[in-house]
Amino acid sequence: MKKSIILAIGNELVEGIIIDTNSKYISKKLLEIGYKTVAINTLPDDLEILVEEIRDSLKKADLLITTGGLGPTEDDLTREAISKTVGKELIFNEKLYNSILKKVKEFHSEIPKNIEKQAWVINGARIIENPVGTAPGQILQIGEKQIIILPGPPVEMKPIFEESLKFLEKFEKIYQKRIKTLGIPEAILVEKYKDIIYKYKDVNVATLASHISGVELRFTGKKEKVDEIVKLLKEKLSDHIYALDNETIEEVVFKKLEGKSVSFAESCTGGLISAKFVSIPGISKVFKGAIVAYSNKVKEKVLNVNKNTIQKYGAVSKECVMEMAKEVSYFLDTDYAVAVSGIAGPTGGTKEKPVGTVWICAYKRENDYYLVEKFFFRGNREIIREKSALNAFNLLRRILS
Amino acid sequence: MKKSIILAIGNELVEGIIIDTNSKYISKKLLEIGYKTVAINTLPDDLEILVEEIRDSLKKADLLITTGGLGPTEDDLTREAISKTVGKELIFNEKLYNSILKKVKEFHSEIPKNIEKQAWVINGARIIENPVGTAPGQILQIGEKQIIILPGPPVEMKPIFEESLKFLEKFEKIYQKRIKTLGIPEAILVEKYKDIIYKYKDVNVATLASHISGVELRFTGKKEKVDEIVKLLKEKLSDHIYALDNETIEEVVFKKLEGKSVSFAESCTGGLISAKFVSIPGISKVFKGAIVAYSNKVKEKVLNVNKNTIQKYGAVSKECVMEMAKEVSYFLDTDYAVAVSGIAGPTGGTKEKPVGTVWICAYKRENDYYLVEKFFFRGNREIIREKSALNAFNLLRRILS
């Protein structure tokens, strides 16, 4: 397999001001076309360090990708560093300069100092236009090796990187399928299904366990065999498998809801379920709205939860989430509804209901059907709320099956 | 300044399965005690590559920090690689082994294979207990240099790293203050306030512009001077400065609301404002609830928005958000309210109201006061919704001042 190295360049990255999300995106795409990323190096805007790292990386990898350091300021040194390392001069490109100037006039009230820096191209490099910002990408062939130079902002990096892939040699694609599961520990999952999993000797199996989103199984190998094993597991594990590959559970639920409508009643999640759902374009086809009933008064007044229910069982109870789910489905007039009430912490826990106790109810109005479950989630406030949202979608998915 | 290098180790990191968030956290903390991170290298679980990178890094840096590769599986090779590079053998620590076994029995139904691997300690290293998981941290002194070995999961890494800082030499602290602004472009900000900014020659000024969260100014230098410049700018820029240092705008608003209550009426943000607010522990003191009125029917039925208003002006209008804000404050009985309605795209835009058009209204019930503004946000659906939420909090902040 061909080797790639990614250099993520910028003081703001090494100083911990922002997180490099580009490299994850790039290495994932590269793997699909047969390049294995052997290192991702985050580096400061420092000419000496950059030259040394670029030189080292070109020794180790077939493909070098840099992101960042293409801005107009004196700090931005990626072009200079690559030019110096490979011994090819920077050449001012007038046509490029004019197109940059045109964009600048559109975006800004005044022209930034030194903007002409972005029109300098390494001798022999192919220019890849930036459809979003001003700094173009560049691709350089050095003997048998290639260098792809990309800007740092993800919105600019992505389209240029996609375009640059056209100029890369493609290798055998790896066939991979992923299964995402919830509510079943890794050890039990593997133990229970090892007969299936290990029957396919040529299929490589990797597991990835996450505190929040459950255990993911990745199968790599011949398409036919991988598809077989995934099909078998889907049948056996339908309550636990909530999505395949890059799908999110929100998207799975959205598709299953086609032609129907849904609403949410949220307490401890505080709008998180709705916010995740609304991130899907076109969601208005199925989503009508939600009531974030954070205080008990709102639960009683807006959602009509019986005062006695809360007094007798508490707001974090089976009875309360069942009333919340049914009421919101009638109030917002939807076919389905999900309600969540729990203790996200750090305070508010008791011996009977410790922090992490969450009740979730999915409701189908047509046949007055409730699916209600109690969860104990470990983790901090953020993790408990994330897990609650994920499992709320999973309960909804199950009554939609 | 002392130099540090961080090695983030794990196949799942280089393959783009998960993002390394540890290094940002670590480098930020290190900067505060006088260590400048000169490189963050993400590496696969590969003994040869690890040995080479550890050797190189020890040449370049005073402090080397590794995260990941301390699990019990054969893939986990960080301990072995460091041991090999520095020429110090791994020694089995029986006491550590017993404490690991005890934890394992608590967490799991069965004992993972090879768990004894985690009880191997590099000769001469100090062990730092893992309060969350099983793999302990280790600190090693090699001549004048130090190596800190940390597990990969952030929930385990953080407490061990904090503890390990006790054993590091501290250097002069850098005094830094940050100002976060909204709604003012970088060029104008610097142009308009350069008299103040450049009057303090000894104070270093850096700007960081983000597509979503606006322009951040960072001032580094003598405490007295930095505090002066921040105070001056706060007075001049009060509408635009929404937070200082690590504060988020949610936290600023939460503090200002003390003794008062608030509710939200959300359309295009779809629960995002509420979800962000509820991430703050103890928020129930001020937050009562929200109505996510995604469909117009919910706006009319639940929020009592006049049908004529929507017909005449549309749901994305000044009139509509004003009604939404007032209604939700009465419906959920709160002192303040914020309402948002906009077009997040990718579809739904018109010539008069293109994608990115968002109306926001902050409302104070006591004196029937409205602060209402129209925004045009550039970016995709996610960015438009994020910007809407941020500016919703900022309008609320302004009527709370």
How does pLDDT run across B127-144, given as a tens digit for each residue?
Answer: 999 988 889 999 999 989
Q: Which residues does residue A209 pair with via DSSP β-bridges, in sequence order?
A: A215
Q: Which of A153, A270, A333 sits opposite B278 (nearest CB)?
A: A270
- Same domain for B228 and B278, yes or no, is no
- Same domain for A255 and A158, yes or no, is no
Rg (CA), chain B: 27
- Same domain for B157 and B54, yes or no, is yes
Q: Which of A108, A140, A167 is the last residue of a domain?
A: A167
Q: How does residue A171 score in pLDDT terms, banded at 50, 70 and 90?
A: low
Q: Which of A228, A247, A266 is the last residue of a domain?
A: A247
- Same domain for A243 and A256, yes or no, is no
- Same domain for A326 and A236, yes or no, is no
A147-151 mean pLDDT: 96
The pairs formed by B346-353 with CB atoms below 8 angstroms and a separation of 24 or more are B346/A281, B346/B380, B346/B381, B347/A281, B347/A282, B353/B314, B353/B316
- Same domain for B314 and B390, yes or no, is yes
CB A370 within 8 Å of CB A399: no
Distance, CA of B391 to CA of B261 (rounded, Å) = 19
> What count of Cα atoms within 13 Å lies in the side-chain half-sphere of residue A154?
15
List, as ranges, residues 316-375 from A with C-beta within 8 Å of B. 331-333, 344-347
Q: Which of B247, B276, B298 is the last residue of a domain?
A: B247
N- to C-terminal Cα separation, chain A? 41
CB B191 within 8 Å of CB B185: no
Cross-chain residue pair A42–B41, CB shorter than 8 Å = yes
| The predicted structure's pLDDT at residue B97 | 93
Q: Does the structure show a pLDDT above 70 at A172?
A: no
Q: Which of B15, B287, B345 sits opposite A37 (nearest CB)?
A: B15
- Same domain for A117 and A211, yes or no, is no
Distance, CA of A363 to CA of A303 (rounded, Å) = 15
Question: How many CB atoms lie under 10 A from the CB of residue A376?
Answer: 12
How does pLDDT run across A282-304, given as a tens digit for each residue?
Answer: 999 999 999 999 999 999 999 99
- Comparing C-alpha atoms, which of A292, A290, A327, A267 is closest to residue B293? A290
| The predicted structure's pLDDT at residue B172 | 61
- The CATH number for B348's domain is 3.90.950.20
How does pLDDT run across A262-288, given as a tens digit for each residue?
Answer: 999 999 999 999 999 999 999 999 999
Task: Tell whether A304 is within 8 A of chain B (Cβ).
Answer: no
Nearest chain A residue to B31 by CA distance is A15
CA angle, corner B115, sides to B114 and B120, nearest 5? Answer: 95
How does pLDDT run across A42-81, given as a tens digit for each residue?
Answer: 999 999 999 999 999 999 999 999 999 998 888 899 999 9
- Same domain for A186 and A163, yes or no, is no
- Comparing C-alpha atoms, which of A185, A377, A200 is closest to residue B112? A185
| Alpha carbon distances (Å) from B229 to A17, B183, B244 | 21, 20, 13
Distance, CA of B310 to CA of B332 (rounded, Å) = 22
Q: Is B226 left (phi over 0), alpha (psi -120 to 50) or beta?
A: alpha
- The CATH number for A240's domain is 3.30.70.2860
- The CATH number for B112's domain is 3.40.980.10
Distance, CA of A59 to CA of A39 (rounded, Å) = 13
- Comparing C-alpha atoms, which of A350, A353, A356, A347 is closest to residue A379? A356
| The predicted structure's pLDDT at residue A137 | 96
Q: Please state which of the ranges A129-143, A353-367, B278-292 shows the lowest mean pLDDT.
A: A129-143
Cross-chain residue pair A24–B19, CB shorter than 8 Å = yes
CB A237 within 8 Å of CB A398: no
Higher confidence at residue A357 or residue B199?
Answer: A357
Distance, CA of B290 to CA of B336 (rounded, Å) = 12
Distance, CA of B4 to CA of B96 (rounded, Å) = 29
Shortest alpha-carbon distance between residue A336 and chain B (Å): 15
CB B83 within 8 Å of CB B89: yes
- Same domain for B212 and B324, yes or no, is no
Q: Which of B16, B274, B382 sits opposite A24 (nearest CB)?
A: B16
* Phi/psi of residue B310, nearest 5 degrees: -65, -40
Q: Does the structure show a pLDDT above 80 at A244?
A: yes
Domain count, chain A: 3
Distance, CA of A254 to CA of A233 (rounded, Å) = 23
Helices then strands, counting H and E runs in chain A, come out as 14, 17
- Same domain for A111 and A227, yes or no, is no
What is the secondary structure of B309-359 as a DSSP string? HHHHH-SSSHHHHHHHHHHHHHHTT-SEEEEEEE--SSS---SSS-TTEEE
Cross-chain residue pair A288–B273, CB shorter than 8 Å = no
Distance, CA of B366 to CA of B369 (rounded, Å) = 8
Tell how strand A262-266 and strand A287-293 pair up.
parallel
Helix (H, G, I), strand (E, B) or coil at A121: strand
| The predicted structure's pLDDT at residue B221 | 84
| The predicted structure's pLDDT at residue A324 | 98
| The predicted structure's pLDDT at residue A211 | 67
- Same domain for A257 and A394, yes or no, is yes
Higher confidence at residue A167 or residue A309?
Answer: A309
Task: Tell whether A13 is within 8 A of chain B (Cβ).
Answer: yes
Distance, CA of A360 to CA of A351 (rounded, Å) = 20
Strands across the sheet with B241-244, in order? Answer: B204-210, B214-220, B176-181, B241-244
Residue given tokens 């900067």 in the structure block? B31
Instruction: Please tell me what DSSP assigns to residue A125.
Output: P
CA angle, corner A251, sides to A248 and A257, nearest 5? Answer: 145
pLDDT tens for the 401 residues of chain B, in order: 789 999 999 988 888 878 899 999 999 888 878 888 999 999 999 999 999 999 999 999 999 999 999 988 788 899 999 999 999 999 999 999 999 888 877 766 667 778 888 999 999 999 999 988 889 999 999 989 999 999 998 888 999 999 999 888 776 667 889 999 987 877 778 778 888 887 888 888 877 777 677 888 888 888 899 999 999 998 888 888 999 888 899 999 999 999 999 999 999 999 999 999 999 999 999 999 999 999 999 999 999 999 999 999 999 999 999 999 999 999 999 999 999 999 998 998 999 999 999 999 999 999 999 999 999 988 889 889 999 999 999 999 999 97
From chain B, the residues in CB contact with A208 under 8 A are 12, 17-18
| The predicted structure's pLDDT at residue A19 | 87
Distance, CA of B331 to CA of A282 (rounded, Å) = 29
Distance, CA of A45 to CA of B125 (rounded, Å) = 34
Task: Tell whether B117 is within 8 A of chain A (Cβ).
Answer: no
- Comparing C-alpha atoms, which of A179, A183, A214, A241 is closest to residue A360? A183
List, as ranges, residues 261-290 from B with C-beta within 8 Å of A. 264, 266, 268-275, 277-279, 281-284, 287-290
Q: Does the structure show a pLDDT above 90 at A102?
A: no
Centroid of chain to Cα A44: 26
| Cis, bond preceding A346 (omega within 30 deg of 0) | yes
Distance, CA of B361 to CA of B364 (rounded, Å) = 10
Nearest chain A residue to B290 by CA distance is A292
Helix (H) or strand (E) holding B7: strand B2-9
Question: To the nearest whole number, what is the mean pLDDT of chain A?
Answer: 91
Q: Which of A43, A108, A284 sits opposite B295 (nearest CB)?
A: A284
List, as ranges, residues 160-179 from A with C-beta within 8 Å of B. none
Looking at this protein, which amino acid is placed at residue A331? F
Residue B312 CB-density burial (10 A; 0-12 exposed, 13-18 middle, 19+ buried): exposed
Question: How many CB atoms lie under 10 A from the CB of residue A26?
Answer: 24
- Same domain for A333 and A378, yes or no, is yes
| The predicted structure's pLDDT at residue A299 | 95
Looking at this protein, which amino acid is placed at residue B56? D
Q: How does residue A109 score in pLDDT terms, banded at 50, 70 and 90?
A: low
How does pLDDT run across A205-242, given as a tens digit for each residue?
Answer: 877 777 677 888 888 888 899 999 999 998 888 888 99
Q: Please state which of the ranges A243-247, A389-393, B144-148 shows the lowest mean pLDDT.
A: A243-247
Instruction: Please tell me what DSSP assigns to residue B55.
Output: H
Tokens for B384, please give them.
């438009």
| The predicted structure's pLDDT at residue B34 | 82
What is the secondary structure of A151-208 as a DSSP string? -SSHHHHHHHHHHHGGGSPP-PPPPEEEEEE-SS-HHHHHHHHHHHHTT-TTSEEEEE
Q: How does residue A184 score in pLDDT terms, banded at 50, 70 and 90?
A: confident
The boundaries of the domain holding residue B287 are 255-400
